[in-house]
Homo-oligomer: A and B are copies of this chain.
Amino acid sequence: MKGYYEPRSSSSCAACKFLKRRCIPNCIFAPYFRSDECKKFAKVHKVFGASNVSKILVEVPEEQREDTVNSLAYEAEARLRDPVYGCIGAIALLQRKMVELQHDLAIAKDRLARYATAAATATTTPSNSTSHDAFFNGHDFHGR
């Protein structure tokens, strides 16, 4: 019956459980793949392989290993969701959005510069207020 059997070892980390091996006291994975984080390890293992993850962890200082595991988990998740582009898809999307924002900001700055010029002119020739309207109707942000 389901639930009658103890898991392999309740103190084993998720990596050692997954790899069906004894979890030693200095296990490189144990601090970052808790016993209940089997899915997290499975994803990272499927994309990078346990051996490569272990090599990367050994290479970085201990205080940066948690960040390393989190970034690997994020990348693995993205690659499993989108096998073609992985997290490069997110980078491409952000770059597109940035180009749009830069474009909108350039338009806004241009409009502001024209307003400033019009305002400066208005202080010397108070009657030319129609130039504001002409400028104001000249540009539009793209639908936002």
Contacts and interface: CB of A to CB of B under 8 A. Distances in A.
Closest CB pairs A-B (n = 6): A119-B132, A108-B108, A94-B94, A71-B88, A101-B101, A115-B115
Interface in A125-143: 126-127, 129-130, 132-133, 136, 141
Tell me if A's interface is mostly helix, strand, loop or mixed. Answer: helix
Contacts of A1: none
A43 B133 CA distance: 59
Copies of this chain in its oligomeric complex: 2
A78 B96 CA distance: 20
A83 B65 CA distance: 10
A19 interface: no
A8 interface: no
A24 interface: no
A129 B132 CA distance: 12
A9 interface: no
